[in-house]
Structure 1
C-alpha cells in the first residue's frame, strides 16, 4: 500500500509541475502579445501620420518623388503584414523606419520645408509617437526575453514542443538604421 501512495505522490507532483510549466508558457506568450499590442497602437498612429507628412514634403521637394514613393511603399507593406505575425511585422517596421529617416534628411536640404509650420507639427507628432514606440519596444523586448529564456531553459525546454512554445524576435533597430542618411543632389 505504501508504494502505491509513493507512486501516486510522484505522479501528482509531476502532474502539478507540468500544469505549472504549461501555465508559464501561456502567461509568457500572452504577455508578449499584450506588449506587442502597445507597439501596434503606436504603429497605427504612425501609419496615419505618414500620408500627411508625405503630402507636406511633396510641395517643397517635388523632384524627390522616388524617396516619397519608397516611404509610401514601406508604409503599405508594413500595414499589409498579417496582425498575428509579429516577426514579419518587425521586419517591415524596420524598413519603414529606414525610409522615414530619408524624409527628415530631405528637410535638411530644403530650408523652406524645415521652417514650414505644418511640417514642424507633423515632425513633433511623429517624434512623440516614436518616443511612445520606444517605451513600448523596451517593454516588449523585456517580455520577449522572459518568454524566450523560459522556453529555452530547464525545465521549459523539456516541454516546449509539447506545449507549442513560441519563440519571438526582439524588436530592435537594424544596424543600417543607426547610420546617417546621405542625400545626393548631384543627379
Structure 2
C-alpha cells in the first residue's frame, strides 16, 4: 500500500473521530428541540384566546383577569428567539421573562375566580391550560437534554477538535427558570 493511500485512510479516520458529523448533528438536534419548545408556546398562544373567549361568555365578572391573560399572551408572542440566539443568555432570559408573564397571569386567573370552578367552561380551560403547561415542560426538558448532549460533545475529546477547528462551536444556553422563587411550588388558595 502506498503512503498516499495510507495517509488518505488515516485522514478519514482522524476526521471522523473529530466530530465532523456529530457536532452539527447534535447542534441541529438541540435547535430542533428548541423549535419544539417554540411550537408548544405557539400552541399555548393559539389555544388561550379561543378558550378565554369561551370562558368570557360565561360572565362579565371575569373580564379584567381574562384581558390580562390575553395581553400577556400577546406580549409573549411578540418576543422571538431563533436558534442562532440560543448562545446569548440575555436573549434567552428576555424570551423566558415574556413567557413567565403569561404563566403569572394564568395563576392569577386560577386564584381570582374560584366561583368558576364549577362551570364546565372553566374546567375545560383549566384542563387545557394544565395540559399545555405540561407539554411546554416536556419540550423544555427535551431541549435541555439536547443542549447538554451538544455542549458535552463540543467539550470532549475527540469531538472538541472538530467543534473548534471546523465549526467554531459555542455552548448553547439551556432553559433556566428566571422567575424568583420558581423552585418553590406556588400555593393555590381558593379562599376556603
| Structures share fold, TM-score greater than 0.5 | yes
Moved over 6 A (4+): none
Counterpart of 1:42 in structure 2 is: 40
Whole-angstrom distance in 1 between the partners of 2:40 and 2:65: 27
| Alignment counterpart, residue 9 of structure 2, candidates 12, 15, 23 | 12
Instruction: State which drifts further: 132-141 or 159-168.
Output: 159-168
RMSD of the TM alignment (CA)?
3.4
In the alignment, structure 2 segments of 5+ residues that lack a partner are: none
TM-score w.r.t. length of structure 2: 0.71
Q: 1:59 to 1:68 in 2, by over 3 A?
A: farther
Counterpart of 1:125 in structure 2 is: 128
Q: 1:74 to 1:85 in 2, by over 3 A?
A: farther
Counterpart of 2:73 in structure 1 is: 72
In the alignment, structure 1 segments of 5+ residues that lack a partner are: 183-187
Aligned pairs (5 A) from 1:59-138: 59-64=60-65, 67-68=68-69, 70-78=71-79, 81=80, 83-85=82-84, 87=86, 88=91, 91-138=94-141
Q: Secondary structure at the match of 1:97?
A: helix
Q: 1:60 to 1:137 in 2, by over 3 A?
A: same
Q: 1:90 to 1:133 in 2, by over 3 A?
A: farther
The size of the alignment, in residue pairs, is: 177
Q: 1:110 to 1:175 in 2, by over 3 A?
A: closer
Counterpart of 1:176 in structure 2 is: 180
